[in-house]
Amino acid sequence: MKKALGFDIGGSAIKTAPVDIDSGRLVHPAEFLSLPEPNTPAAVLATIRSHLEKLDWRDPFGVGFPGVIDQGRTLTACHLGTGWIGRNFLGDLQSLSDHPVALLNDADAAGLAEMHFGAGKDMNHPKAGTVLLLTLGTGIGSALFRGGVLFPNTELGHIELNGVDAEDTAAASVRTRLNLDWPEWGKRVNRYLQEMEKLFTPNRIIIGGGVSEQFARFEPFLKTRAELVPAKLVNDAGLVGAALATSLT
User: What is the DSSP track for 35-68?
Assistant: PPSS--HHHHHHHHHHHHHHHT--S-EEEEESS-
pLDDT of 236 reads 94
pLDDT of 133 reads 98
pLDDT of 224 reads 97
Contact 227, 94 (CB under 8 A): no
**Domain with 54 in it: what CATH number?**
3.30.420.40
Q: How far apart are CA 239 and CA 110, in angstroms?
A: 7
Q: Is residue 30 part of a domain?
A: yes
* Average pLDDT of the chain, as a whole number: 96
How would you classify the pairing of strands 31-34 and 101-105? unpaired
Same domain, 68 and 14: yes
Same domain, 90 and 131: no
Q: Is residue 105 part of a domain?
A: yes
Q: How far apart are CA 136 and CA 130, in angstroms?
A: 19
Q: Is 39's pLDDT higher than 80?
A: yes
Same domain, 49 and 105: yes
Same domain, 133 and 103: no
Same domain, 179 and 227: yes
What range does the domain containing 36 cover? 3-109+237-245
Same domain, 92 and 69: yes
Q: Is residue 118 part of a domain?
A: no
pLDDT tens-digit readout, 146-160: 999 999 999 999 999
Same domain, 89 and 159: no
Q: How many domains does the chain have?
A: 2
3-class state of residue 216 by DSSP: helix
pLDDT of 194 reads 97
Q: How far apart are CA 212 and CA 230, in angstroms?
A: 6
| Percentage of the chain exceeding pLDDT 70 | 100
Same domain, 73 and 131: no
Listed residue (59, 49, 44, 46) closest to 14, CA to CA: 44
Same domain, 135 and 219: yes
Q: Is 12's pLDDT higher than 90?
A: no
Listed residue (50, 90, 210, 76) closest to 154, CA to CA: 76
pLDDT of 162 reads 87
pLDDT tens-digit readout, 43-79: 999 999 999 999 999 999 999 999 999 999 999 997 8
Q: Is 249's pLDDT higher than 80?
A: no
pLDDT of 81 reads 81
Same domain, 217 and 241: no
Q: Is residue 121 part of a domain?
A: no
Same domain, 226 and 132: yes
pLDDT of 11 reads 81
Average pLDDT of span 222-238: 96
Listed residue (32, 45, 30) closest to 80, CA to CA: 45
pLDDT of 70 reads 97
Q: Is 1's pLDDT higher than 90?
A: no
pLDDT tens-digit readout, 157-207: 999 998 999 999 999 999 999 999 999 999 999 999 999 999 999 999 999
Q: How far apart are CA 225 and CA 221, in angstroms?
A: 13
State the pTM of this model: 0.96
| Angle, vertex CA 232, rays to CA 221 and CA 35, nearest 5 | 100
Burial 26-61 (b: 16+ CB within 10 A, else e): beeeeeebebeeebebeebbebbeebbeeeebebbb
Confidence of residue 82 (pLDDT cuts 50, 70, 90): confident
Same domain, 130 and 96: no
